[in-house]
Chain A
Amino acid sequence: MILRGRSIYPGTAQGEALVSSMRISFFGGVDPETGVVLEKDHELEGQSVAGKILIFPTGKGSTVGSYTIYRLKKNRANPSAILNVHCEPITAVGCILAEIPCIDQIEIEKFKTGMFLHVNADIGAIEIIQNDDLKPLK
């Protein structure tokens, strides 16, 4: 299944989805060294965003969060792509600095943690690879 959104920053990525129904604050909320979500009582608390297709409604918090996204990239702990319902400036600018593919205007309920996704942010397309397609050959 292929879903469409609006491209915020181009590029392609593939990997496992990590979905949050809560907003994410990168500054103070995500450890820039490891990618682990630190925010207390956040539904992703303790999980790492590193290498994931990170999906959340929209960002929040300090504008310094853009630099946190850049720091994640420098530390190789960045999400490989970011998908938002509504991308706000902190996340958008962070993705531009760090050159992380980013798409918004997606329907978040179509995605579940663990799904395997192909993201093509050049054209704002996200392909959900069926779990059946992923089973290792016996």
Chain B
Amino acid sequence: MSLELTQIEQNMLAGEHGFAARKSMEILVALAKIYAADRMIPVSSVQVAGVSYDNLGDAGLEFIETMADGGGKARVLTTLNPAGIDIQDWQRLGVDEQFAKKQKQILTAFARMNVITTCTCTPYLAGNLPHYGEHIAWAESSAVCYANSVIGAKTNREGGPSALASAITGVTPQYGLHLTHHRKPDLCVEVTDKPDHSSEQLATSWFGALGKIIGQELERKAAKHIPLIRGLPGASLEELKSFCASIATYGGVGLFHMEGITPEADLFEHPPDILRIEAGAVDQMAEAMRQITSTEVDFINLGCPHLSIKEIAYIAHRLEGHSVNREFWITTARTTKQISDMMGYTQIIERSGVKFAADTCCIVAPIKGKYHTLATDSAKACYYGYAKNAFDIYFNSLDDILNLAIQDANREQSA
């Protein structure tokens, strides 16, 4: 099987559309070669990762600027992953001025390429929402998993440069998860455990711990698997968002199916291999993810992946009238924060002493060394908090994290 390119794709590769289009097509042709794709297919939506200056450094910044100088323009709707700073409010969050300057340079270069600079890992909550069956090219492992599994759009797990290449050319090589026969489940996961506090449908930590169990099990099996998960009574957007982030982090999963919940679950026969998750297994995992006691926590973060407006409304309701004394960040998309502003949630939350950090998150912000221990409801944040920022982790449910913040303040008041 050899790769056939259309005339315009050949022209791009030959440099007739400028440097950026040539580099982009070189990247996509190499991927096509590695995965034996025989053609490119059009995509209608792109999500680019590799945005924070903390990850890109000067070389990455220079590359993005070279692409912008080289005439790169997004041909399709393209949005960005979180940046290293809250673009409007970085000073209050203690970011170094030089870092902020470099970060803004990166965003300016993306904007010159007509990329929409909503910096979020939840593009599907910020105006970049593909429909069922649509071919897209997304980076950001949690969003890839959400788009494939929950929405039923089709994307491979792109990296930052290959996603940008698809934005500039409007195409991606046809292989992997773009092909229906590669979306078949090959392992059943039978879950007999269930969350015990799902009244608000915000059992995010429970779903995160479940994602870690399944992800690690798949990683141990070494081969790439697409699990079909059975036995869950339901899952909210927030719970699925947390689950996607976790199973992608711990198992490299780009697609799963959930019976009764995700749209492609009924399309395929159930595979014979079964992995069982017994009652109590998820709480046991969550317990194992708590490395430290709550009193040792010096930094609290909610918003990995970025919080939805429903989560922010709930947090505002819980924090109203309380004051929080520890460093506590809410990380979310700028657009979600704007809804929160409009509803008065931002004011309530900030009055309690909690800070908003829009556009950024605790994985890509330059906070290593500033804090030492992290409290979070996110299984993904546990992994990167430890691996990238050397934090010791206190993992617990959304409610427990909020209780910790509130009780803490009450204790000090009564002391």
Contact = CB atoms under 8 A, between A and B. Distances in A.
Nearest to A7: B33
Given A8-B33, A67-B50, A93 B57 contact: no
Contacts, number: 76
A112 interface: no
Interface stretch (B158-166, B294-302, B342-350, B371-379): B158-166
A73 B59 CA distance: 9
A61 to B, nearest CB: 10
20 contacts: A9-B30, A27-B55, A28-B388, A32-B59, A63-B49, A63-B139, A63-B158, A64-B49, A64-B160, A66-B160, A67-B56, A70-B60, A71-B57, A71-B60, A73-B59, A89-B31, A92-B27, A93-B159, A96-B161, A97-B63
Interface in B109-154: 139
B26 interface: yes
Given A89-B159, A93-B27, A96-B23, A32 B34 contact: no
Nearest to B31: A89
B62 interface: yes
A93 B164 CA distance: 12
What 10 A-B pairs have minimum CB-CB distances, sorted nearest first?
A: A63-B159, A71-B59, A74-B59, A67-B60, A92-B30, A93-B161, A64-B55, A70-B59, A96-B26, A66-B161
Nearest to A75: B59
B58 interface: yes
A90 interface: yes
Given A93-B159, A93-B161, A67 B31 contact: no
B47 to A, nearest CB: 12
Nearest to A88: B34
Interface string A36-80: 000000000000000000000000000110110011011100000
Interface residues of A, number: 24
B159 to A, nearest CB: 3
A87 interface: yes
Interface string A87-120: 1111011001100000010000000000000000
> Of A6, A28, A92, A93, which is in contact with the most chain B CB atoms at under 10 Å from its CB?
A93
Interface residues of B, number: 26
A66 B30 CA distance: 13
B58 A74 contact: yes
B34 A67 contact: no
A66 B162 CA distance: 10
B349 to A, nearest CB: 31
Contact of B162 (A67, A70, A93, A104): A93
Contacts of B139: 63
A8 B30 CA distance: 6
A67 B58 CA distance: 10
A67 B161 contact: yes
Contacts of B59: 32, 67, 70-71, 73-75
B177 to A, nearest CB: 14
A96 B31 CA distance: 11
Contact of A67 (B30, B55, B157): B55
Interface in B381-397: 387-388
A8 B31 CA distance: 9
A64 B50 contact: yes
Interface in B1-47: 23, 26-27, 30-31, 33-34
Given A67-B60, A89-B31, A92-B27, 17 more contacts: A6-B33, A28-B388, A63-B157, A63-B160, A67-B50, A67-B160, A70-B60, A71-B57, A74-B58, A74-B59, A75-B59, A89-B34, A92-B31, A93-B31, A96-B26, A96-B161, A97-B63
Contacts of B162: 63, 89, 93
B34 A96 contact: no
